Amino acid sequence: MPFTNDEIASKLREVSQLMQLAGENRFKVIAFDRAAQTIEGLQENIDDYIQEKNLTDIKGVGKSIAEDIYALAETGKMPVLEAFKEKVPEGLVQWLNISGLGPKNAYKIHNELGISTIEELKEKIEDGSVASLSGLGKKSAEKIMKSIEWMEKFNERCRMDEAQAIAIPIFNSLKDLEGVQKIEVAGSYRRGLETIGDIDILIAAEKQFIDNLFEVFTNHERVTEVLGRGDTKSSVRTKEGRQVDLRIVSLKEFPAALMYFTGSKEHNVVMRQRARERGMGLNEYGLFKLNSEGDTDFDAPVEFSSESDIYEKLDLHFVPPELREDRGEFEIYDQQESLDLVMDDDIRGVIHAHSTYSDGKYSIREMAEACMERGYEYLGLTDHSQTAAYAGGLSVDEIKKQWKEIDQLNEEYSGSGKNFVIFKGIESDILADGSLDYEDEILEGFDFVIASVHQSLNMPREEMMERMRNAIKNPYTRILGHPTGRLLLKRNGSDLDLNELVALAAEHNTAIEINANPYRLDIDWRFGNKAREVGMITSINPDAHTIEGIDDIQYGVRIARKGKYGKDRVLNTRSADEVMDFFKAR
């Protein structure tokens, strides 16, 4: 099968990383990384170039790299990648998952200390060997150790996007098979949790179809190991290391099983207690009357045909899966039929995106046209500010050049009858004292400012709180970006009292974004109750650095729903004029 642009770019980037770990010439490393970036951003299908044998027509793809890509297309393996996999110890590759330890320092530690596993690395940090290396030091060693501890704590979980990349292909391979009456992905994935452990798939089917369903499931191309196979449950390990469980129940049992295996445990405990208070027993098999001794009478089932029916029998309105965490949902759905939770189709525009002016991969026009193709009405462009030099932060002259380009594009779109507008924004670094990154006369020229912390995330709590308070109160700040700065499963965020910041943001009519990048999903959904209480506005922002990154909005919508945000409290469900009104309401 032909490889996609992203798949080939990923292979080239892997070569680049392995080269660094092997101490290879930096110019070779750069060549592979640039080739990966170029192919990732290529508008045409890379397979067309492969078929025509003209890969070297692509700027940045030299003869040697082209030959490796041709070999990959022909054999399924890239020679240079295979060669470096043999050179670099497998344990060393795992170091790349450690936040704060790049390939350059990984090579230094490996080369000078002669170690290649994470366990050895921990030992050498503890005995001071890592701190003694030039260019590292005690603080770097401590940071690496903290990252290892964090990674090990969460190594049995994965991000929402990673779970989706596994669950959906397996789901799709099963859903249309003979005998499948109903099918759902359950567990923490269905609840929209930001990280997921095992993936649970539930099917309703009659007994004669079970063997074939398990056969297809256990032979899926992602499966590397069958962990177990019984009469109603089969478990596998995928090539990503994730466990996937498939359970098959009868159509009659399906609603109760779906509720049980969706969870959460805390939600299910309350549901079982409500059932007992009403003379019933609830479990994964169904809803039953209790006998005179208070035990479940399996010969006295209570009829139901859906999850909604079960909730109704327990005097509740249907609780959406995202809210099943025992965090106030029972009080809400005891009293009212529904919440107007935001949906994917409610999102009308993209706010928080980067272009080639800073560290984005595509031009403003390309990002705007990608938004239009997806049916969006506006793009809030927010390249990095001047302090973020590492991300190509914009000088004042570059800002003025960008404004001129945006004006020209908006005039072009308006003149051609396109219902689309680009807002002039900036993602301003929040400086150490909480001030923004430009003088007022420049800030005044933007339509809006997203204020974000990118450096000194580990400031003491009160200093960081004062920094954030000042940013929220600043009249030019319209949105606070990824407030904690966390990277899921890699590093914790800043030490903040988010309840206080949520209330302060509502008071000053400043939105706090839900950064929809699946590495972030920040602000955390757990502060949704406070946001609902004080009426805080959010904006579901992809923080897109590529065209593909725009589609991360879907993850942010799931977190917004989990945080009980209605359409009325999500900024980018509004029209372009309404969004501009919010921007102006400083």
Residue 116 shares a structural domain with residue 129: yes
Distance CA 497, CA 511 (A): 16
For residue 385, give the CATH number of its domain.
3.20.20.140
164 shares its domain with 311 = no
Q: What is the CATH number of the domain that holds 135?
A: 1.10.150.110
CA 269 from centroid of its chain's CA atoms: 29
Buried b (16+ CB within 10 A) or exposed e, 49-70: bbeeeebeebeebeeebbebbe
Identify whether the C-beta of residue 409 lies closer than 8 Å to the C-beta of residue 377.
no
Does residue 449 share a domain with residue 568?
yes
SS3 423: strand
Q: How far, in Å, CA of 488 to CA of 485, rounded?
A: 10
| Distance separating alpha carbons of residues 510 and 452, to the nearest angstrom | 13
Per-residue confidence in pLDDT tens, the chain, 586 aa = 578 887 898 899 889 888 888 888 888 888 898 888 788 767 778 888 998 899 998 888 999 999 999 999 899 889 999 999 888 887 787 787 777 787 888 888 988 898 888 889 999 999 999 999 988 888 888 888 888 887 776 677 899 999 999 999 999 999 999 999 999 999 999 999 999 999 999 999 999 999 999 999 999 999 988 888 999 999 998 988 888 999 999 999 999 999 999 999 999 999 999 999 999 999 999 999 999 988 889 899 999 999 999 999 999 999 999 999 999 999 999 999 999 999 999 999 999 999 999 999 999 999 999 999 999 999 999 999 999 988 999 999 999 999 999 999 999 999 999 999 999 999 999 999 999 999 999 999 999 999 999 999 999 999 999 999 999 999 999 999 999 999 998 888 999 999 999 999 999 999 999 999 999 999 999 999 999 999 999 999 999 999 999 999 999 999 999 999 999 999 999 999 999 999 999 7
Same domain, 247 and 263: no
Q: Fill in the DSSP letter of residue 223.
A: E
Q: Of the candidates 233, 251, 269, which is a domain's last residue?
A: 251
Residue 457 sits in the same domain as residue 568: yes
State which residues form the domain around 133: 5-153
- Among 335, 369, 401, the domain boundary falls at 335
CATH value at residue 228: 3.30.460.10
Query: Of 296, 315, 335, which residue is a domain's last?
Result: 335
Same domain, 25 and 167: no
Angle at 485 between CA 483 and CA 487, to 5 degrees: 135
| pLDDT score of 105 | 85
Say whether both 349 and 277 belong to one domain. no
Same-domain status, 284 and 229: no
Structural domains of the chain, count: 4
- Residues constituting the chain: 586
Are 239 and 327 within one domain? Answer: no
Token reading at 494: 């800043």
State whether 48 and 123 are in the same domain.
yes
All residues at 6 or more sequence positions from 461 whose CB lies less than 8 Å from its CB, including other chains? 495, 496, 497
Residue 570 has phi, psi (to 5 degrees) of -115, 115
77 backbone dihedrals φ, ψ, rounded to 5°: -130, 145
Q: Is 557 exposed, middle or buried (0-12, 13-18, 19+ CB in 10 A)?
A: buried
pLDDT of residue 1: 59
Residues 297 and 185 in one domain: no
Would you state the pLDDT for residue 564? Answer: 98
pLDDT of amino acid 245: 95
CATH number for the domain that contains residue 265: 3.30.210.10
Residues 270 and 408 in one domain: no
* Single-letter amino acid, residue 320: P
Strands (E), 230-295: 233-238, 243-249, 280-283, 286-290
* pLDDT (0 to 100) of residue 354: 97
Give the separation between CA 50 and CA 142, rounded to whole angstroms. Answer: 46
